[in-house]
Chain A
């Protein structure tokens, strides 16, 4: 029994070390005023640098741009993904496997390959460097994830709810708005949260279609990392991690609530 407990402590230690420590260290670095070899613990801490970074108009602009890009990318992806995932999960589609694979495989195409070509195309169309161009380019990454997550969650959806409504005389539109959307709402929220996170982290698919003019937090962080001010870099990195962390908390919460479609209709 004692050995099992030690084993558990070691396992927890490894999990925490691998998953949590880098973020904790990042947070310490962000508030450390001068933290150098051989100090294990910083001599002095203060929120000065963090405050400066948060007050910096460049940080605020990047956060705003990042939120606009990721929210718009998520909305566009969900509008396209909901019918597609519905068909993949509930419809009788010939070549379903092949179509699903074709829609999801762009996840693995190196983003550089597509981002360079899109940069050229968007420049020629005269729209490179706009928020819209970045939102369009992000679909390469966000749409497959949106479809993948939604289709996986919708396989547990019970179509008989809709059939009951149809047999009671409801039209297709009413079935979709009154039965499908309310029942699928938790799945849609989970998929939207994950899509937001995917969009938020995009680097090359932001940099090249954005032609260096659309600056989101990841672009700001990478630029800062070559600057040589570790505290400021850590502070910007920390701020950049907050919106996706909020999104994932929402996702985890939603996944913990049991789906309302569980079981057959009464």
Chain B
């Protein structure tokens, strides 16, 4: 009996079958199903807070038409998309530069830089946003430095970098906050590639920039593309930094959604749910499409 168990064990690790996955799948499935399920139900007019249920797409129509809530949801959607894409592209550029720079045979620099990046990951978004606000606002540290070297004399002469219509503050927040995450991924991918490739290219006379373009980029791009897709999706649903660094209009979608949800006018609740459902659907569809593209590209 024991021998039989032993022989079977040589073929597979114990307790690593489907049963081990069951708790995670049940918990995750329940949370997502309950969370999104109630959102879908309330967005369709089921389970109303007041009055009789009237099932239909009214809340979606009202949301798209800006009824009641007086929100231009389309402007918010465009703004959210712009901020997500711009901050991700900026973060990717920073991450590639940082990863290329750490990837040199100086051990101390590598440890120091990756250590700092890990610490950056731990800082809550709200905290980082407030740090940026102190630096970038009109009258903030940067404007005072500008005044000290005689570039400006009044805070109002300093360019609007936070609470601005283009979302520069929010973009800078996510570019700086997500770049270390992407750089650590890029760096891990670089390290996983055979070291001889670099030496061979060098002995064949490839310059640093050429090695970066022909060796480093192809190694990191597929993995980094997936990580970049995660960052876009994350920024798309972001809330805290837009509240601290954004202005009242245009607002990012999550800010609009929470305002609708917590409005004293309870008839706006279904619109908040509708917005949440649409955001979740948009992210899932976009991400699955991106994964399919990356998979084919590989």
> Which residues of A are at the interface with B, using a C-beta cutoff of 8 A?
8, 11, 15-16, 18-23, 25-26, 29, 36-40, 79-81, 83-84, 86-88, 90-93, 99, 101-103, 105-118, 120-121, 136-137, 139-140, 143-144, 147, 159, 162-163, 166-167, 169, 172, 175-176, 197, 200-201, 203-204, 208, 217-218, 221-222, 225, 230, 233-234, 237-238, 240-241, 244-245, 247-249, 251-252, 256
Q: How far is the CB of A122 from chain B (nearest CB, A)?
A: 9
Query: Do A117 and B230 have beta carbons less than 8 Å apart?
Result: no
Assess A112 versus B258: contact at CB under 8 Å? Given A91-B13, A248-B122: yes
Question: A-B pairs with CB below 8 Å: how many?
Answer: 280
Binding-face segment, B58-66, B69-77, B139-147, B195-203: B139-147
Docked CA distance A163–B9 (Å): 6
Query: Do B12 and A92 have beta carbons less than 8 Å apart?
Result: yes
Docked CA distance A117–B254 (Å): 14
> Which residues of B are at the interface with A, using a C-beta cutoff of 8 A?
2, 5-6, 9-10, 12-18, 20-21, 23-25, 27-28, 31-32, 34-40, 42, 47, 94, 98, 101, 109, 111, 113, 115-135, 139, 141, 143-145, 147-148, 155, 176, 179-180, 230, 233-234, 236-237, 239-240, 243-244, 253-254, 257-258, 261, 272-273, 276-277, 279-280, 283-284, 287, 291
Assess A112 versus B125: contact at CB under 8 Å? Given A84-B23, A118-B31, A251-B118: no
**Which single residue of chain A is at the shortest CB-CB distance from B229?**
A108
Query: Do A93 and B14 have beta carbons less than 8 Å apart?
Result: no
- A residues near B155, Cβ cutoff 8 Å: 37
12 contacts between A and B (CB under 8 A): A19-B119, A26-B127, A36-B139, A84-B20, A107-B234, A110-B253, A113-B35, A197-B122, A222-B240, A225-B130, A240-B126, A248-B121
Of A83, A99, A208, which is within 8 A of B15 by CB? A83
**Which single residue of chain A is at the shortest CB-CB distance from B26?**
A80
Q: Find the residue from A29, A137, A237, A238 having the highest chain B CB count within 10 A.
A: A237
Of A93, A117, A233, which is within 8 A of B276 by CB? A117
Assess A106 versus B28: contact at CB under 8 Å? Given A15-B98, A159-B13: yes
Of B21, B141, B239, B279, which is within 8 A of A93 by CB? B21
Q: How far is the CB of A231 from chain B (nearest CB, A)?
A: 10
**Which single residue of chain B is at the shortest CB-CB distance from A147?**
B24
Of A25, A101, A110, which is within 8 A of B236 by CB? A110
**Which single residue of chain A is at the shortest CB-CB distance from B277?**
A113
Docked CA distance A84–B27 (Å): 12
- A residues near B12, Cβ cutoff 8 Å: 91-92
**What are the nearest 8 A-B pairs in CB distance?**
A110-B237, A22-B131, A91-B16, A114-B35, A113-B276, A117-B38, A84-B24, A108-B233
Q: How far is the CB of B249 from chain A (nearest CB, A)?
A: 17
Given contacts A83-B23, A167-B10, 5 further A-B contacts (CB under 8 A): A99-B21, A110-B280, A143-B27, A162-B13, A203-B240
Query: Do A18 and B176 have beta carbons less than 8 Å apart?
Result: yes
Docked CA distance A250–B15 (Å): 29
